[in-house]
Structure 1
Amino acid sequence: MPTLFVRHEVSDYATWRRVYDAFAPVQKANAVMAEAVYQAADNPNDVTVTHEFATLEAAQAFGKLEELRSAMRTGGVLGAPTVWLTNKAQNDPR
């Protein structure tokens, strides 16, 4: 299952969270199957978000949404986010 990770600093977590929560319908409409939000232990404005998808193509398309970029600006994301895609590792057959 492909997972999109996004890490960024925000100017104010509470403001960012309101915008993130309001973005849920867009996530659902664009194939997000599950999501989670994490804050760094030493900085609540250092946020990492994960979104799970059924396909790599869905994850890539979601990452390119203009609505996503707009929500990030509105939510107070500072600078460029660090973004990476993963696939869940298969069990070692040994």
Structure 2
Amino acid sequence: MTTLFVRHEVSDYATWRKTYDAFDQVQKANGVTAQAVYRATDNPNDITVTHEFATLEAAQAFGKLEELKTAMRNGGVLGTPTVWFANKT
């Protein structure tokens, strides 16, 4: 199992969350088996999201989706996200 971690700042959490929640079916259709959202305690617009996948290849393909990039723009993501992949041991 591979986990995709994405950390980014958003302009408004409520707006971002509506966009994120509306993206649920796209996540499932592209191999997301579990997900979680975390907000920094000192900045509620500093978001870390995790998505779990069966394989690294599936996680990498999801990260390249044009629909994902569009949703991130529409949700008010600021700047370039920090992205990394990890395997649970």
Q: Would you call these one fold, judging by a TM-score over 0.5?
A: yes
Measure, in 2, the Cα distance between the counterparts of 1:51 and 1:88: 12
Report the number of matched residues.
Answer: 89
Q: TM-score, normalised by structure 2?
A: 0.99
Q: CA deviation at 1:44?
A: 0.4
Measure, in 2, the Cα distance between the counterparts of 1:32 and 1:70: 18
- Say yes or no: does 1:8 pair with 2:8: yes
Match of 1:27 in 2: 27
Q: Deviations over 1:37-63 (max 9, x none)?
A: 000001000000000000111000000
Q: Which runs of 5+ in 1 are unaligned?
A: 90-94
Match of 2:84 in 1: 84
Letter paired with 1:52? E
Q: CA deviation at 1:22?
A: 0.1
Query: RMSD of the alignment, in Å?
Result: 0.3
SS at match of 1:72: helix
Looking at CA atoms only, which structure, 1 or 2, has the larger radius of gyration? 1
Match of 1:36 in 2: 36
- Say yes or no: does 1:60 pair with 2:60: yes
Letter paired with 2:61? A
Measure, in 1, the Cα distance between the counterparts of 2:33 and 2:80: 25
Q: CA deviation at 1:26?
A: 0.2
Q: Which runs of 5+ in 2 are unaligned?
A: none
Q: Deviations over 1:21-43 (max 9, x none)?
A: 00000000000000000000010
Percent identity over the alignment? 80
Runs of 4+ in 1 over 2 A off after TM superposition: none
